[in-house]
A and B are shown apart, each in its own frame.
Chain A
């Protein structure tokens, strides 16, 4: 049986988490190759629809990474992200998708190691959860 190789989408904000991911790269911090980053200016611009679209299309996990609370480049953006993502998790749960397939975390531009840690942990978790059941759905 082939080992399950998750496909994970990550939204990273330009000022903090994207830069943190860059720093992880500069530091050659190794991590599993399952994450694909979409750069946005602020985590607050990540629409619930994107998460739902990704999951319903078969993406096994979605990671939304923003600046630490208090550090948002646009002042209050991440406050909204902090409120929004748990609601999206609720929606996932309602439709029978394990809400752990969506993870929200905060990574600053200097936290290369944290980025590595979050990515490695999340990939491990998704591997444990198994493939996204939506993969089986034929539209």
Chain B
């Protein structure tokens, strides 16, 4: 009987851990809160420093994961309870009702076309709308639609029912209930990733009040060919093409009052987004306001230099004091201090400003930690057991990888995920 492992979180770290564990012969149950696996990487346009198309390199792994004979996906699901002790853990998984029979749904999309309800799309970071019945993104795995109970007219008030009429596979089931599954697992892997801090917590940066101030993940969606603007770099206020672009680093990070730590990846992704912006708009001029330019990985320094020399990116070492609207709804003014003793306060106008907010352990990871009895560090990331065990949590049998343990980029998350698989194998072999 193969031993079972529950992996919580279906981003790149969870997917990699699942693949390795499955290849090692374990029965993997991958639990993902949203309707599709893929996580943050699915929302990126390209990845630094190679500017690989993110979905192109992620999608084969998603398909492999779903198709692996040793992996069972539990999407639109959450872990409700964990009892027992390693190696006899009982994990109760709640699969939320999708109101769609996933064995019948073929993901053809006829229902989506006819649904009359439109709501802000979380995947597109609220820059566009989706329907109440939806696929989170075109390459979703599993390719099954989900009805959002909170916005569906039928589920809320018993009216409509268009999707059921249109579905030729008979997959719509308005009476579907949440499903509970219990897995007798030998180990658990936590790979719950990150969320962006809501930058409106720092009103001086203009997020929420200024139309042309967006968060970095929103900018990724704007750049994406499959995103809300079809990959056209336009600004929210009037849909015009920005010529002057700015990035503000460390919004809420390295901040005494907000989050003290460094989110690690923002210097690099801001540089990447600047390069991509130039590729979209050949005469765009970009400024990055930063504190320290943390380009510490393979090829990273060269990437930053290329941005400066070949893509005209202007790096200004300064932490802006204020970001506000320029004219009514349009344009943005950034106020900062220039360097040196003779430094003075300068205000510059930009067409579009991108904020790089602090990257936080994902919402729900704190509650999950409590459920699992795991210790958190001062920044609410999952604490490692000790130096000897960098991917073990403080509870035996529960391993952690990726951003859930500390801010890190894709290669480090993938390495940790494979590392977790080794640790599971050690523990289940009788090791400590």
Contact = CB atoms under 8 A, between A and B. Distances in A.
Given A70-B50, A114-B225, 17 more contacts: A15-B56, A16-B56, A19-B59, A23-B138, A23-B139, A23-B226, A71-B56, A109-B55, A109-B56, A110-B45, A110-B54, A110-B224, A110-B225, A111-B53, A112-B225, A113-B230, A113-B231
Contacts of A113: 225, 230-231
Contact of A111 (B54, B139, B225): B225
Interface in A110-139: 110-114
Lowest 3 A-B CB distances belong to which pairs? A109-B56, A110-B53, A26-B138
Given A26-B138, A71-B52, A109 B230 contact: no
A19 B138 contact: no
Contacts of A108: 53, 56
A114 B225 CA distance: 9
A27 interface: yes
Contacts of B55: 109-110
B50 A19 contact: no
Residues of A in contact with B, size category: 10 to 19
Contacts of A26: 138
Interface residues of B, number: 16
Contacts of A71: 52-53, 56
A71 B52 CA distance: 7
8 contacts: A23-B226, A109-B55, A110-B54, A110-B224, A110-B226, A112-B225, A113-B231, A114-B225
B50 A110 contact: no
B56 A110 contact: yes
A70 B231 CA distance: 22
Interface in B212-237: 224-226, 230-231
A16 B57 CA distance: 10
Interface string B23-57: 00000000000000000000001000010111110
Contacts of A111: 53, 225
B138 A27 contact: yes
A68 to B, nearest CB: 9
B56 A19 contact: yes
A108 to B, nearest CB: 5
Contacts of B52: 71
Nearest to B54: A110
A27 B109 CA distance: 11
B53 A27 contact: no
Contact of A27 (B50, B54, B60, B226): B226
A15 B58 CA distance: 12
Interface string B96-110: 000000000000000
A70 B224 CA distance: 20
Contacts of B45: 110
B226 A112 contact: yes
Contacts of A110: 45, 53-56, 224-226
